[in-house]
Structure 1
Amino acid sequence: MFIDIIKNRAEQGNRTSKYPKGKISLPKNYRGVPVINPECSKEVVEECAKICPQDAINVENKSIDLRKCTFCGECERVANGEFVKFSQNFEMGVTNENDLIIDKENKKMEIESKEYFKKIFGGALQLRVVSAGGCNSCEADINVLNTPVYDLSRFGIQFAASPRHADGLLIVGPVTKNMEYALKKAYEAVPNPKVVIASGACALSGGVFRDNKEQLNGVSNLFKVDLFVPGCPPHPMTLLYALVKFFKKDK
């Protein structure tokens, strides 16, 4: 049996992604950072806004709010990419949530980490994941980060079983009223200084559950959020990028 394990290891090789030291490419059907055509006519933008299930498109500003966007791609399909095309750039995440509104200037999303966060948490970070009423898609892709391909622990970032042992909360879901009390208790249990990360469209804006009376339209309506990660759900590589960019010390 031991020989079989060694043989299998030799055949499999190293399956861990080389990112961030090396570039990677995702499947062609992956939808990443949207690129807006500033010359697009208002009529086409209106057509895209009409079909958007999340009301994420602002016609006047020719912009897409990635807090609401589920990356369904309907706006690209209906106008044949005349208004917006989705790139394969998975590096998404911001510390100022207004930077998630992508307009005709196509500014790059920025993560401006506080230096004392890097100093305190840069060597080792424990996060407690809280599912605050989501559909479980975000949770599934977070679990993938523990697989050999992504191997989040190589960056010193791990998930804790208890908020008392964590440095911060990684929250997914729209924050349903049934989860509000539990989420507050989890937040209180995390020792100071602590960080709050909102991941996924639901945690950013309520997502597909937005404006339902049984939820709070995201984490920002309850706590101050330090890091925002868009997507529905965010690709594991997107979340890995955001966490590493925000916490790890520059070398």
Structure 2
Amino acid sequence: MLDIMKRILRTGMLSEALPGSEEHRVHVGTIHERLHDVFGRALRIRHVDAGSCNGCELEIQALGNPYYNLEGAGIAFVASPRHADVLMVTGPVSVNMEEALKQAYEVMPEPKWVIAVGDCGVCGGIFGTSYASRGAVANVIPVDATVPGCPPTPLALLQGLLLVTSSPRQS
């Protein structure tokens, strides 16, 4: 036990420093205001994991914490694509998820947006296109915006939601 304590004292802190909180909060607050201006009082997102490693899902879950406060901006995740305005897709589209992704897209009410999240969703990532993977989300359904990164930060995901507002809605 004493050896472990000595090693901890010798090594010190290994975690990264906290971000500049005030500047970051102003940026998140600005994005929330812009989202509210564009979408009005509510936006509903349906998340589909098309074959990811779950790295992107962890960052998407972080949007619900008190720091990013997605619900406070009037944005919520829904269980059914029939209630969604935005389809947020992570991972390369595996062969087994191809049909399910197409069905989720087709049952969404008009108008609708699709966001491909993470390097795998954007271009297929390290998996690419193979016998087991269709690669990028755009190979299966139309994509309105992409959020690259492995995994992308929650702030990048918020900016991706704003990015879809600059593209015309699917009709």
Deviations 1:84-137 (A, max 9, x none): xxxxxxxxxxxxxxxxxxxxxxxxxxxxxxxxxx76x34311010000001011
Please tell me whether the aligned partners of residues 152 and 158 of structure 1 are also in contact (alpha carbons under 8 angstroms).
yes
Partner of 2:57: 139
Tell me the residue number matched to 1:112.
none
Deviation at 1:244, TM superposition (A): 3.6
Question: Partner of 2:160: helix, strand, or coil?
Answer: helix
Amino acid at match of 2:113: V
- Quick one: which of 108, 113, 127 aligns to 1:209? 127
1:57-206 paired onto structure 2 within 5 Å:
121-206=39-124
Structure 2 unaligned residues grouped into runs of 5+:
1-20, 31-36, 167-171
Number of residue equivalences: 140
One-letter amino acid matched to 1:145: L
State the TM-score, normalized to the length of structure 1. 0.51
Deviations 1:138-171 (A, max 9, x none): 0111011000011112222211111111112000
Alpha carbons of structure 1 residues 19 and 180: separation in structure 2 relative to 1, 3 Å? farther
Choose between structure 1 and 2: higher helix proportion.
2
Change (3 A) 1:215 1:20: same
2:144 maps to amino acid: D
Note if 1:228 corresponds to 2:146: yes
1:38-49 alignment, distance < 5 Å: none
Please give the alpha-carbon distance, in whole angstroms, between the structure 1 residues aligned to 2:26 and 2:159: 9
Partner of 1:237: 155
- Report how far residue 217 of structure 1 moved: 1.3
Distance 1:191 1:179, change over 3 A: same
Matches of 2:109 and 2:147 in 1, distance apart? 23
**Pair 1:219 & 2:137 matched:** yes
Q: Taking structure 1 as reference, are residues 222 and 21 closer, same or farther at Cα in structure 2, changes over 3 Å only?
A: closer
Q: How far did 1:247 drift?
A: 4.1
Query: What stretches of structure 1 of length at least 5 have no aligned partner?
Result: 1-14, 24-117
